[in-house]
Structure 1
């Protein structure tokens, strides 16, 4: 009994912190999701009205379409490109370490700094990209990258890839270093070229790392806010509106904290469901394969 009481005494601070900073805010969020509340006056219970409104809100629904496209873009510009760079720079040759450092360097910048930097680069009138295109005689390719619906979301994908692909490169590079070089030497002796080695050796041995990176990209994509807010703030005409930006606008710009909390609960359920489904199917595929 004394031992059990001592164990409870040691666990109590952690339980108190978890309850105060995780369980209580979570329960409060669920409660406020069923109310009309502006953050000042007492909340009024409205049942499922906020959720009914959310599923009839076309801007909210299209925000999930936009974030899905953004996530697909991050899988290419962040995960796939990071993997490619890790493979290409997986060498001890002179200068390759510096190149890896330069490729990783955007991760050092804050999201705000990266967004401001790229807002300057992509500006239609004075931006570095359009100025370069005009300087080399390609005026026809100069675009208002962040001000037209057809290019704004793609531009954000590119910026996100520039910012985060270095992170995935480091993850894959560390995994590549654990693969014995003798495997590649044996494959070369058997006549396997670089592509055959990549698909027969590298990719299968990086499978677990790839699954983790995809999960990070997907869940991080749903939580994407900084770049969207700084570069376009959901514009033009809602073309880059994502769940996080729409939640902020409803909760703080419109003072509809009850509705904004309901949107947050929906986003949390969506992200959790996607993560659980992804882990379940990836584990099943792993078991089936082996």
Structure 2
């Protein structure tokens, strides 16, 4: 079975382990935390753009399974021996089923000798029961003889956010339905809806994969203009296209492009 690694909707990348890098000196208790990047998932956290959730939308790719790399990073110094990392599933926050939606977690994982990361691969499957649905798997780090949990939240440098990102828990969402991706720019295409996204793909020979990454301003504006012209042509024919939802007063909502097209 062909496997892919899908990381936060950005790229299909090769599985790898054993990254090394310089870390600040730390004189307190050795600790660990989830070092998952908004843009690079578990492959690279150098931007310190940590997140407490990762999405895995199977609808983007025609694949039956996917491996997500979860990165755990140490606080403190490296040591010349392997150290144990324990992770548990939080059942009350999880709807994904072990053995069906994903391979059960191992009893323990390791930060290898002289390393600062544990790379944890989790194998997910697209089952028929996932069609048009979304399920979640929440992970929680546990203390061990090797590591404590001294940093429950990450506060980004120079950020106005005083709440922080939960780096002891990490929630993974898997789905087999259309979702809004970074390439769907509402400023040019108007409010997102699955019906609109499907219609744009149908009319302009695109797929959901084309929206995986942000488009250039020229490209997305051109697409928005063409879509607006199509909607107006249909309305002129007496075939106005409406969204699948109604407004607060129960009226049909006419589908529109975004205000940024202005032509």
Please tell me the TM-score bracket, short chain as reference: under 0.3
Report which of the two structures shows the higher radius of gyration computed on alpha carbons.
Answer: 1
More helix by share: 1
Higher relative contact order (CA 8 A, sep 6+): 1
Q: Calculate the TM-score normalised by the size of structure 1.
A: 0.20
Q: Calculate the TM-score normalised by the size of structure 2.
A: 0.21
